[in-house]
Structure 1
Amino acid sequence: KKWYHEFYDTSRPRDLHWFSHVTEDHLGNIYVCGFNSKAAVTGNRLIVKLNKEGTVLWFKEIASPGFANRFMYVQERPDHNMILIGSLFDLQLRSDSVLISIMDPLGNVLSEFTVPKNYYTAAYWRCRPTIDGNIICAGGLQRNEDPNGNDFRNGFAHKLNMDGKILWEQEYSAVDSLVELFFNLGLSRDGGFYFGGISWLPEIYESRNWLVRVDSNGCLIPGCNPVGITEKESYPEHYVLAPNPAQEDLYVYSNEYHYKASEISIFNEWGTQVYSSRIETAYKQKINLSQFSAGIYYYVIHRANQKLQSGRFVKI
């Protein structure tokens, strides 16, 4: 059955609605997300749920006072809640932050947070699901605010899990460019990614098309060092894993003393345990990675039933 739905009946006069992404859930219901760039002169996030016949089940517009905000990606999670990805634009600081929202099927917000960052402004322009059940997003970021107000954004990409946590971050910059942005992305057959956008050349006042191919860790092909973990460890003074990324050997440094040894368990991206070993306190332990394939791994350090630390590392 084909149908057409225009949202004039759910919009106020002079509102400017923009839908950025649409997806289906496991029941065939449809979720559409975007923003209203006219409301309150700032912009509000939009999320709509329709059934498979095209009937609107609910329509939500979410405002964040002091911010212009938008949703640009929505996807169903394994628990049948929805992850929505967008941005918050601070009207005073004039900078963007990546926004993650988790909603239930009724549109109730279960959790919401901005992605931890060490940069002045960052926003995604496109996201897509990956073959391993995560999400890849690309856009533009600027590390520091320019005193003269110049736009010095570079292209960048994040791989996120379904909780919105960063698995890896990569930044990309062409030569002699001022502004570089990714507006689109695609998946390659070998598990890597293509990022497409513009590279602005101020010397000749023109823009160039820009296409970057990377591998599954976000590395430029051929080869580069992936940026592994962008989030701080819970207890960095107790255990340190280095180097990260690692190629041949990974060392676990223990800076505590306890009469009982701890244990490290390592899991791959699909949650399968691939390694387990005791860690003696006040000691350096080597883990040989020759049997590990390249990718992201998660570790948990525990003693008896007490979790001491968890995190991620990259094998290259």
Structure 2
Amino acid sequence: MTIIKQTSTPTLWSFLLMLLISSYYASASTVDTLDVPSKVMNKAYKAAVVLPSSYTGSKASYPVLYLLHGASAHFRDWLNQTPDKMTVRNLADQYNMIIVMPEGEIFGWYLDSPFDAGSKFETYITKEVIQKIDATYRTVKSNKGRVITGLSMGGHGAMYLSTRHPDLFCAAGTMSGAMDMNWTKFKISADYAKSIKDRFNKLLGTDNPEDEVYTKNSIINMVEIIKKNGMPIIIDCGVDDFLIDTNRELHRRLLYANVPHDYTERPGAHTWPYWQNSLPYHVHFFYQILKTNGVVVATSK
């Protein structure tokens, strides 16, 4: 019988492995948690900011992706909820862009509530968050270097903010977005519908989805503005998602109005595995536009 004697002395291979691991983490993207308080709401909020590994050794100005979370969530969800927790960080490194995940509260819808003075997230994102990011980091300080997307409520928010503020963004996207704020069109349970109804009532001052406040703030009713802006947009939704019908309807209206857009349906539901799979498509789509705009940062490789 042969006895193999173990030793505490590291082998050459284990040393090289440790060196490789330490080198990887030393060069990986970093995550800042930035204070971005809101004067308009008189509240303290934060944002997560992913900086690509090349940022510290460069003097270049970087394009920025604003990545919005969904309802019942907060600013770190994109970092904490994806099955692969490195998804966002790896994309920041792969495409050499800053990725900002701001706070939108659990049901802020990224709009200025006409009913609740403490919920003004359109003003917060467009006049406070962007200015803070541009003042803190080396960013491309024009719409040529800013893109925006998000999931669910954040998907609607990304389309809403970009449509109303084309001076701030050059492209927009939505993943599993709630394209119509008429909650009766969501394929959800009665209990969830009641919860949504109550939340909309607190946000908009009415639970009647036929009220003007719903129709004028729903992106599905802004096709003519989208057409006028001419902004590149990417839309996708899982075929088993409870919001698929509102995405199909927006797609239909955009086609009818001859509005160019990238639209995809894939297998999947309203889940983090779907969004983790979806996000790289959005980032690649945005990268091509940023490249055309001449604002991408070349890699050193």
The TM-score bracket by the shorter chain reads: under 0.3
The answer to which structure has the higher strand fraction is 1
Higher relative contact order (CA 8 A, sep 6+): 2
